[in-house]
Amino acid sequence: MTVYRRDDFAFPPARGRRGVEFRADGAFTDWLIGRGDARQAGDQGSAGRWSAAGQISRSTGSSGSIVAVTADRLEILWKE
């Protein structure tokens, strides 16, 4: 399971963090750690679709399910 937090969450200092961005049109982008620790969209599996039913599918064919959502936390169980 992977846990995601909001951009404004008070994480301790780190050299970069992965993330995921969900858009209202049902698309999403995986954000990876790039050069200089800046986030960049990943090449493989960097895009996909999500549904309000909690299902997520990457363009590479892997998928996941949203396990829990709270105001400051998103838990996704990825099936690679």
For residues 48 and 27, what is the distance between their CA atoms, to the nearest angstrom?
A: 6
pLDDT for residue 61? 77
Model confidence at 45, in pLDDT bands (50, 70, 90)? very low
pTM: 0.66
Residue 19, pLDDT score: 78
Nearest-Å Rg of the Cα atoms of the chain is 13
Per-residue pLDDT tens digits for 10-31? 887 777 777 788 888 988 888 7
Domain chopping of the chain, boundaries: 2-79
